[in-house]
Structure 1
């Protein structure tokens, strides 16, 4: 159940961050509301996750996968550059999350 809640927390954080781009500095109502709701949901789900997972591992997964997902969304849908260095960075973030899990997520 911990990983399911964590996946939902990541999805909510990614949705909130993506909506933030469209909020134009919180000047557009609906993207701004999606941002606020996304982050409230993300933090609530992350808090529930911490009942069953270690804090360091859960937060590293949440932040790492969220960061990688937002970077990929930026490249694929928002016209951001997708050079080799950026792709390598995303791969390294994901590798770091895998290593943390191998090191003892519970």
Structure 2
């Protein structure tokens, strides 16, 4: 139980750092600005470090699917809030299909090894 809590805690923090890095990425202006660039690289490095801890106690497929799926949702929400970026219905549908596909694979496929 303690290992699961630690794994999901590390995964949650990894997702938060990845989303923060993605939000800061726009401010790097193609990595031409030093501090936003260093911040982005640091946040991504921290995210991967925490993801590596999460996969000690959970299958990589589950950890990565959660990391990617939740990351997509939080990134879209953050971009909408902080950058006033809006999505049209085809984009929303596409994101829903990606997240739905990840869920179907994780919940019903025998190929994931869980």
Fold match by TM threshold 0.5: yes
Equivalent of 1:9 in 4, 10, 14? 14
Query: Computing the radius of gyration over CA atoms, which structure comes out larger, 1 or 2?
Result: 2
Is residue 58 from structure 1 mapped to residue 71 from structure 2 by the alignment? no
User: Greater helix share, 1 or 2?
Assistant: 2
TM-score by length of 1: 0.82
1:18 deviation in Å? 0.9
| 1:26 paired residue number | 31
> Aligned residue pairs: how many?
106
Deviation track 1:35-54 (CA, whole Å, cap 9, x = no partner) reads 01101100000000000110
In structure 1, stretches of 5+ residues that fail to align are: none
Cα RMSD (Å): 2.1
In structure 2, stretches of 5+ residues that fail to align are: none
TM-score by length of 2: 0.77
Is residue 81 from structure 1 mapped to residue 93 from structure 2 by the alignment? no
1:92 deviation in Å? 3.3
